[in-house]
Structure formats: C-alpha cells, structure tokens
Amino acid sequence: MISFFNNISKKTYVVGALSFLFYFGISYGIERTEFYKLLFLYAGLFIAFLLLIQENKNNSKLLFSLSIAFRLLLLFAIPNLSDDFYRFIWDGRLSWQGLNPYLYLPENNPELVAEGATLYQGMGKMNGSHFTCYPPINQFAFLIPAILFAKNLFGSTVVMRLILILADIRTYIYGKKILAYLKIPSYKIFFYILNPFVVLELTGNLHFEGVMIFFLAMSLYLLFAKKELYAAVLFAVSVSVKLIPLLFLPLLIKRLGLKKSVLYFSVVLLLNALFFLPFLSYELYANFMKSIDLYFQNFEFNASIYYLVREVGFWVKGYNIIHIVGKVTPIVVFCSVMLIAALRKNANPKVLISSMLFAISIYYSLASIVHPWYIAIPLFFSVFTRYKFPLVWSFFTILSYAAYQNDIYRENLYLVAIEYMVVYSVLVFELLVLEKTKKQFLKRYSFF
C-alpha cells in the first residue's frame, strides 16, 4: 500500500485533488441554470482527466481507483443537470405496486405512487405527459430502488447510482478484455471510464446508457471469443435496456455468417419479446409506439444536420417540417447502416467496432434530439479505434446546457454550431488527412 502511494507523482496529487473539488462543485454546488460555472468546472475537469491519463498511462490501478473514487464522491448527490431520474423512480414504484408502467401517465395519476406529486413536478410536464418508452430490463433496474426505498426519493437515487457504478466497473473489465484481444494498449479504456463526461452524465445524472454499454461490451467480448449464443443473450439484454443496439444487428452478419446470423437475430428478438411478456396488454404496443413516434417527430435538442434541414424547411414550406423529417430519418439511417454492413469488412473485429461507431454517429448526426449522455455510446466504441472525434464531442457537448440558463428553455444555436463545427472538423481530419497520410506512409515504406 505504501509503495502504491510512493509511486504517485506530485503532479498527480495536485490534479487529482483539483478534480475532487471540481466534481464536488458541479454535483453539490451549482444548478443547471448556472451555465458558465458549469462550463468552467467541466473544462477544468476535462483538462485534469487528460493530464491524469498522460501522467499515469502505466498505472492502471491508480486510474481505476480514481475513476471509482470520483463516482463515490457523487453517491449522495441529487442529480442537478437532468430530471429524467424522477421518471425512472415513478416507473419503478408503479411496477413495485403491481401496476403496468406502460399504461399510466404521471400527469393523470400522481397519487398512484409515494411522493407522486413531487416526482411529477420534478420530471416536468413534458416528461410526465407521455407514456414511458423504457424497455423491460430498464424497468427492472427502476424496480430495484423501489423495492428498497418505496417512499424515499434520496434512497432511490443512491441505489440507482450504485447500480450504475457496478455497471461501469464491469464495462471497465470487459473493455480491457476487448483491448487485449485487439492488441491495443489497455490504458485507452480510461478515455471512457475516467472521462468526466461519463462520470457526470451516467453516474451523476443517473442515465442507464451505462448499463446498456456494459451488456454490449460483454456481448462483444463473447462474440470475439466465438461464444455466439451467449453473446446473443447479452446483446438482447442490452437492447432491453436501451433500444439503440438494434441499429448494430446488420453489422454482425459478416462476422457471424448467414446461418449463425439467423440464430443470433432470432435469440435477440425472441428474448426481447419474452422480456415484454410481464407487461403485455392491449394498450402496451400503442402506448410504447406512441412514445417512440413522439421522440422522432416532436422533440428537438442539440441537433446538427437536422437543424440545417429544418431551416431549409422554413424557407421552402414556411413551417417546421419535423413531422416529415421524423419519418424520413429512420429510413436514411437504415439504408446507411445496410451500406456499411455490405461494403465494410466487418468480419474483422476492429473494422466491426469502427462500423458500429460510424453507424451510431450517422444516426446522431441526423437525429432531431441528441442529449449529452447519448455520446457515451460512440465514445465507448472510439476506445477500440483510432478515432478521437467522440472524445472531442464528449467535451463540447457541455455547450448544449446553455439552453437551461433561464426559466424559459431556449437553445443557443451559436454554441450548438460551434460544438458540431469542431466535432465534424476533427472527424473530417481523421477520415481524410490522417487516412491519406497513413496510405502514403505504407506506400513509401512498404518494404517494412
């Protein structure tokens, strides 16, 4: 133990201490409306995070210990940057009382659960006026805090945070295993697990992308280990936490082969159907799809290409064409993913993961709503590739919080433009300049 501390540099002590102060300041000391304070503290955290990795690449124990310590510091904080957790608690308490969470609207039934009025007020009218869109395994995760703290909001948040911390630990373990399999330096996992974006958005704000990513990481490792059936089961669980992994199914065909793909896809779809059985009712499908449709055709936040298309719509049509774009976008994304599946050599594990990165990036580039915590998925994939644009994105997405500076929600489109100009510039540089340099190098020194 003494030798462990002796090997830590003074610079690491200073940077680590500042990180603790900045995390404390964000989680316990500010409100979402205080954008400039948030930006300052987050920028400091991000610089500190990069310095910690640079200084301690060969000290995985230290970096992992810090990543857990930062999360535990947030353990007793009520999320102050997102109000989604109120809906998670509401859904869980409905399930604990034997009520189907897919059938009840918070705005019409606040009396159904303990602290119902508080939960509805916290989640806001927008979140409380539509049916839940969270899949069954996610609902099970919401149920756990309800079982332990059926009438205590603070206790519920602590339990959810512990679930997410445990998920991140497992992501770290399987992320390192994938890196070892791909013969990539193990320290790269810390660009995800130590990233203040992941610590604050997943552990801090209680977003269950972290749980989904854990199951997806485990599934990928089992796939590469040629344990396809187990991989399919874990992939199915991942889908039942968040639906987004369905996007990646076509990309697996070349890796699995046609026959194994049929079995893999069947397991994923069958298990997800079984997961929905406890909630089965006539209204389930209609309510669930209504929420999904609402997501695609009504909500707008932190978008990029969509905002440009919307402006064209205003010029041509004279009104917001989100309802048209919302119907077209899934088709464009599906066709793009199918092209990636057909044209890239996805049997190769490294190519497969980069294809997943491109697929999710295309989807988010066209989406009308890109909440900051969504970036956790491309950020995780980027760990296993040479691409750094998701890392850049994980910093600049903080600019989207400028929308909450006042009581009246209003996005600062100049800051949104800066965010995506930087991210896309890095992406273009990595795709064109670095790739061209790599090819020229290989051509010139092919005798090596």
Nearest to 231 by CA among 206, 207, 248: 248
Top pLDDT among 142 and 129 is at 142
Q: Per residue in 414-437, pLDDT tens?
A: 999 999 999 999 999 999 876 666
Model confidence at 6: pLDDT above 70: no
Please report where in the chains the tokens 């490792």 appear, as a residue.
221
Give the pLDDT score at 444: 46
Structure tokens at 18: 């500042």
The mean per-residue pLDDT over the stretch 42-52 comes to 98
Q: Could you give the count of Cα atoms lying within 13 Å of 269 in the half-sphere of its Cβ?
A: 7
What digits encode the pLDDT tens for the residues 149-168? 999 999 999 999 999 999 99
Of the pLDDT bands very low, low, confident and very high (cuts 50, 70, 90), residue 446 is very low
Report which of 48, 50, 52 is spatially closest to residue 63, judged by C-alpha positions: 52
Q: Which residues of 120-152 are buried (b: 16+ CB within 10 A; e: fewer)?
A: bebbbeebbebbbbbbbbbbebbbbbbeebbee
Interval 309-341: pLDDT, tens: 999 888 888 878 888 888 899 999 999 999 999
Rounded to a whole number of angstroms, the distance between the first and last alpha carbons of the chain is 45
Enumerate the domain spans of the chain. 2-444
Q: 200, 28 in Cβ contact below 8 A? A: no
Per-residue pLDDT, 411: 93
In the structure encoding, which two tokens stand for residue 17, read together?
Answer: 């201490």
* Per-chain mean pLDDT for the chain: 92
421 vs 296, higher pLDDT = 421
Question: Which residues, 6+ apart, have CB-to-CB distance to 412 below 8 Å?
Answer: 399, 402, 403
Per-residue pLDDT averaged across 105-130, rounded? 89
Residue type, 66: L
User: Could you give the percent of the chain with pLDDT greater than 70?
Assistant: 95
pLDDT tens per residue, range 76-96: 999 999 999 999 999 999 999
Cα–Cα distance, 144 to 71 (Å, whole number): 20
Residue that is written with structure tokens 């092919």 in the block: 446
In this predicted model, which residue has the larger pLDDT, 325 or 446? 325
Using alpha carbons, select from 127, 197, 210 the residue that is nearest to residue 161: 210
Report the phi/psi class of residue 281: left, alpha or beta, with left for phi > 0 and alpha for psi in -120 to 50.
beta
Which amino acid belongs to residue 295?
A: Y
Report CA-CA distances (Å) from 43 to 192, 240, 392, 395, 406: 16, 34, 12, 8, 21
